[in-house]
């Protein structure tokens, strides 16, 4: 009977998701040899070759991909059944979360309070860095999850895009709310993100090319939060993401661009990237807070 091979189907789905036997076996808490034997039995039962075994990696044949597409909804339903009817276990231990600094400032207070209320014995270790570094750390297992910009999915991680954002030039609203003279503003200069080792994001560089030449760069900094702080003081114009600029309403106002078409040049996604074996309860909580 096919149902006798459900466990093997689950193992097969792990191999597809991880792209190699080592991580799939670790997730299933069995040896690679036992994993391989189970998959061979599965292939023999259906009389088809599902996997192309290569040194250090594995991929699906056309039959394997078709088989995966058919069993994935069944496995998902079985997992949902367990979540609906089994008692909810308390989350314990340490969870390593990475975040872009400006995202951490926005979301961590509410995130911490939510977890403290639901799971008081759950500890979160937070690391702040740039997107490139955070993505690498999630993929190599140093981090369980990260809040990043324009995250990209692969065979080791899942990515969910939570929202979009755009860039703009912002000044202190209280100090310049009555200023109509553009020269008064352009003379201040602008503060921009400094160039890291891995280069500025593509959307940021595209936006910089559109900024009018009247605005001269007079300060570079590796932190959006620091740029926001200086802009709020009224001493400089800050080039900031809209959600960072408006984190505390009314402090800053956008002076450029004022049209949506130019804003779209800098459009980027706020993403949640996480290991495929991450507890879905954690994913749903963080998604809800970020949304």
Flag whether pLDDT at 288 surpasses 60: yes
Flag whether pLDDT at 2 surpasses 80: no
Alpha-carbon Rg for the chain, nearest whole angstrom, is: 24
Flag whether pLDDT at 179 surpasses 60: no
Give the number of other Cβ atoms within 10 Å of residue 45's Cβ. Answer: 12
Q: Which two tokens stand for residue 212?
A: 């009018």
CB 287 within 8 A of CB 162: yes
Does the global pTM surpass 0.85? no
d(C-alpha 164, C-alpha 130), whole Å: 17
Domains of the chain and CATH, by start: 2-85 (1.10.10.10), 93-164+269-290 (3.40.190.10), 167-266 (3.40.190.290)
Residue at token pair 């290991």: 275
The residue among 257 and 30 whose pLDDT is bigger is 257
Report the SS3 class of residue 57.
Answer: strand
d(C-alpha 282, C-alpha 224), whole Å: 27
- Report the chain's mean pLDDT, rounded to a whole number: 87
d(C-alpha 92, C-alpha 232), whole Å: 40
pLDDT digits (tens, 9 = 90+) for 206-227: 999 999 999 999 999 999 999 9
pLDDT digits (tens, 9 = 90+) for 35-70: 889 999 999 989 999 998 887 778 899 999 999 999
pLDDT band at 86 (very low <50, low <70, confident <90, very high): very low
d(C-alpha 172, C-alpha 177), whole Å: 8
Whole-number pLDDT of residue 191: 95
Flag whether pLDDT at 85 surpasses 50: no
Whole-number pLDDT of residue 150: 93
Whole-number pLDDT of residue 190: 95
Flag whether pLDDT at 145 surpasses 90: yes
Among 117-121, 124-128, 188-192, 208-212, name the one with the lowest average pLDDT. Answer: 117-121
The mean pLDDT value for 15-23 works out to 85
Whole-number pLDDT of residue 1: 62
């Amino acid at each position: 009977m096919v149902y006798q091979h459900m466990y093997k189907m689950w193992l097969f789905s792990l191999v597809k998701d991880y792209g190699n036997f080592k991580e799939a076996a670790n997730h299933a808490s069995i040896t690679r040899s036992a994993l391989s034997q189970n998959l061979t039995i599965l292939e023999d039962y259906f009389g088809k070759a599902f996997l192309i075994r290569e040194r250090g990696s594995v991929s699906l044949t056309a039959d394997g991909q078709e088989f995966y597409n058919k069993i994935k909804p069944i496995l998902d339903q079985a997992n949902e059944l367990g979540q609906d009817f089994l008692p909810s276990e308390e989350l314990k231990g340490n969870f390593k979360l990475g975040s872009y600094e400006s995202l951490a400032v926005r979301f961590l207070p509410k995130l911490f309070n939510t977890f403290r209320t639901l799971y008081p014995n759950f500890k979160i270790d937070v690391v702040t860095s740039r997107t490139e570094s955070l993505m690498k750390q999630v993929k190599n297992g140093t981090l369980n999850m990260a809040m990043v910009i324009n995250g990209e999915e692969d065979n080791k991680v899942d990515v969910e895009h939570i929202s979009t954002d755009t860039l703009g030039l912002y000044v202190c609203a209280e100090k310049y709310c009555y200023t109509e003279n553009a020269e008064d503003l352009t003379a201040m200069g602008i503060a921009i993100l400094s160039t890291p080792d891995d280069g500025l994001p593509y959307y940021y560089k595209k936006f910089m090319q559109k900024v009018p030449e009247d605005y001269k760069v007079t300060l570079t900094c590796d932190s959006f939060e620091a740029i926001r702080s200086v802009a709020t003081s009224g001493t400089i114009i800050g080039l900031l993401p809209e959600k960072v600029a408006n984190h505390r309403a009314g402090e800053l106002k956008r002076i450029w661009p004022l049209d949506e078409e130019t804003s779209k040049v800098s459009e980027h996604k706020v993403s949640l990237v996480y290991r495929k074996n991450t507890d879905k309860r954690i994913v749903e909580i963080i998604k809800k807070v970020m949304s």
